[in-house]
Amino acid sequence: MSKNSLPIQVQPVIMAGGSGTRLWPLSRAGYPKQFLVLEGNSSLFQQAAQRLAGLAAPDLALQAPLIVGNEEHRFLVLDQLREARLEPGAVLLEPLGRNTAPALTLAALQAQADGGDPVLVVTPADQTVTNPAAFTESLQRAVREAADGAIVILGITPDRPETGYGYIRADQTGTGLAVARFVEKPDLGTAEGYLRDGGYYWNSGMFVLRASTWIAALERFRPDILAATRSAFAARGTDAKFVRPGKAEFAAVPSESVDYAVMERCPGSGIALAMVPLDAGWNDLGAWEAVWQVAAKDEAGNASRGDAIVTDSRNTLVHATSRLVSVVGLDDVVVVETADAVLVADRSKSQDVKKIVQQLDSSQRGEHALHRKVHRPWGSYDSIDHGPRHQVKRIMVKPGATLSLQMHHHRAEHWIVVSGTAEVTVGDKVVLLSENQSTYIPLGVTHRLANPGKLPLEIIEVQSGSYLGEDDIVRFEDTYGRK
């Protein structure tokens, strides 16, 4: 960088709105795979944010990341970023899913809101990389190419004939690699041919381009998406780091992916579409097969996490979360255990796990959406027992956190403090309870629970009544903006 040139403004964008249905039962709609810790100590979302935080260089000025997600996960996003000691520039909350093209458009409009035109580094939140240094080098190269107006795609150097990914055909030019065409997920024979012939790369779903470049390309190929998303962004509301597009306006946005809306239309159009190879141990963890691929394995090819015993088995994946799981005499299977569900599947059929989720959804069973342990902005609760007219929960409230002021039409509650200090509001009375003390909240009485201490508060809640659903809550005041 010369003395008179300014550094390139770089705006990381993390797409965090996926549902991860193929990683059920660990991934649920209320706590999808990007927020899970599958290996190590960081979630996939945290890993994505930490990788992007390493892009700064003397000629690259890195801005705080923009996160695009949905309303339900907004506090998960903030909590996990703060655990990683990172702060977002903004969290764009989609009121409903409209695929990746509108999501990227929201990010581009937000990036331009202050009059700038940064280079957007766009990545999904659910990928892994085993070589961060190689990742950083490739992304920095892509940023420098994109600063001159090109759209740059990160193409993964394939190491096997994978049928679960889309492919990119890239041709060598005088200045690098240009994207010649996109190829849908191939059958095995075609994938083997791609690997043998060379020149084909997996489509990583990572893009690098200026905000204005994306807006101009969308204006050319899908002006309907751009116009509708602009209307929703113009009707946005803001609350601290949260940016909420207009709900009615966003509902009118056509649902489309980045690839279909723009990228696949670029070859032959005159728009510069370049590719930078990425050979950094990348995996998108789209299904349990992919999790097995990247996991540490024993000499028989078995990978396990949690309290698992595997014997006389080969090439298995066992993931235990709440109890001992034993596997004997099985090859090429996936076994995933949670507190309320167990999955056993042929590893080669792991893409079809989403069919189980569809059946659960159509049957209106809650296991497709929530774990037994449910995370809330104030903490979490674990439903440890239930029957026709009772339910028992173990509730954890973070230090300084407060639940909503609320009442129930159909249930009464008993609270017993296990550890910490509870500030309890019942009607017009406020009392402090410590370990082993309890209180009773009659049906129909306004109440609130808060943790005034510096340590987590844990209580046992016993509900009794004719209806115990989570929708039997009337909120009068709420710190977190819930209705």
Q: What is the mean pLDDT of residues 415-425?
A: 96
Q: Which residue has the tokens 């339900």?
A: 72
Length reported for the chain:
483
Residue 266 or residue 422, greater confidence: 422
Q: Return the structure tokens found at 430.
A: 């406020």
Residue 90 sits in the same domain as residue 178: yes
Q: What is the β-pairing status of strands 8-15 and 66-70?
A: parallel
Asked whether the CA dihedral 468, 469, 474, 480 is positive or negative, the reply is positive
Tell me the pLDDT band of 175, cut-offs 50, 70 and 90.
low
- Joined tokens for residue 323: 């109890």
Neighbouring C-beta atoms of residue 12, cutoff 10 Å: 26
Whether 455 shows a pLDDT value over 60: the answer reads yes
Residue 102 shares a structural domain with residue 190: yes
Q: Is the pLDDT of residue 3 over 50?
A: no
Q: Are residues 161 and 248 in the same domain?
A: yes
Closest by CA to 217, choosing from 209, 230, 181, is 209
User: 97 with 161, same domain?
Assistant: yes
Least-confidence region, from 59-63, 150-154, 371-375: 371-375
Q: Is residue 288 part of a domain?
A: no
- Is the model's pLDDT at 444 over the cut of 60? yes
Retrieve residue 288's tokens. 């349990």
Angle at 376 between CA 238 and CA 366, to 5 degrees: 115
State which of 242, 263, 283 marks the end of a domain: 283
User: Would 168 be classed as within a structural domain?
Assistant: yes
Residue with token string 């016993």: 462
pLDDT band at 344 (very low <50, low <70, confident <90, very high): very high
Q: What is the mean pLDDT of residues 394-402?
A: 95
CATH code where residue 202 lies? 3.90.550.10
Q: Is residue 6's pLDDT more than 90?
A: no
Task: Output the average pLDDT for the chain.
Answer: 92
| CATH number of the domain bearing residue 462 | 2.60.120.10
Quick check: helix, strand or coil at residue 470? Answer: coil
Which of 31-35, 133-137, 316-320, 476-480 has the lowest average pLDDT? 476-480
The answer to whether residue 419 is domain-embedded is yes
Q: Which residue did the predictor score with more confidence, 40 or 215?
A: 215
What is the rounded CA–CA span in Å between residue 381 and residue 383? Answer: 7
Cα angle for residues 109, 96, 259 (degrees, 5° grid): 60
E strand or H helix at 70, and its extent? strand 66-70
The amino acid at residue 450 is A
Of 359, 384, 406, which residue sits at a domain end? Answer: 359
Residues 6+ apart with CB under 8 A from 214: 104, 105, 108, 120, 151, 262
Q: Which two tokens stand for residue 18?
A: 């996926």
Give bridge partners of residue 179 from the DSSP assignment. 170
pTM above 0.85, yes or no: yes
pLDDT at residue 4 tops 60: no
Domain annotation covers residue 2: no
Closest to 111 measured CA to CA, from 140, 82, 68, 75: 68
Q: Is residue 1 part of a domain?
A: no
Number of domains in the chain: 3
Give the structural domain span for 309: 294-359
Residues 173 and 309 in one domain: no
Residues 50 and 184 both lie in one domain? yes
Contact 8, 60 (CB under 8 A): yes
- In this structure, is the dihedral angle defined by the CA atoms of residues 154, 157, 159 and 161, taken in order, positive or negative? positive
Query: According to the model, what pLDDT value does residue 123 have?
Result: 95
**73 and 168, same structural domain?**
yes
Helices and strands of the chain, counted as H and E runs: 11, 31
Q: Is the pLDDT of residue 151 over 90?
A: yes
421 in the same domain as 343 = no
Instruction: Identify whether residues 417 and 333 lie together within a single domain.
Output: no
**Are both 138 and 180 inside the same structural domain?**
yes
**Which residues is 124 bridged to in the sheet?**
15
For residue 366, being part of any structural domain is answered with no
Is 364 a member of any domain? no
Does one domain contain both 277 and 306? no
Q: Residue 19: what pLDDT?
A: 79
Looking at residues 57-71, what average pLDDT do you find? 94
For residue 1, is pLDDT > 60?
no
Residue among 180, 185, 132 nearest 158 (CA): 185
- Residue 34: inside a domain, yes or no? yes
Final residue belonging to a domain, choices 263, 283, 303: 283
Asked if 182 and 305 sit in the same domain, the reply is no
Does the structure show a pLDDT above 50 at 2? no
Q: Residue 211: is its pLDDT beyond 90?
A: yes
Give the bridge partners for 238, in sequence order: 243
Tokens representing 358 are: 């569809």
pLDDT-based confidence at residue 338 (cuts at 50, 70, 90): very high
Inter-residue contact 316 to 333 (CB < 8 Å): yes
Helix (H, G, I), strand (E, B) or coil at 103: helix
Alpha-carbon span 4 to 25, nearest angstrom: 55
pLDDT in tens, 277-336: 999 999 888 899 989 998 999 999 999 999 999 999 999 999 999 999 999 999 999 999
327 Rama sector, left if φ>0, alpha if ψ -120 to 50, beta otherwise: beta
DSSP alpha helix (H) spans, 87-222: 100-112, 132-146, 188-197, 211-221
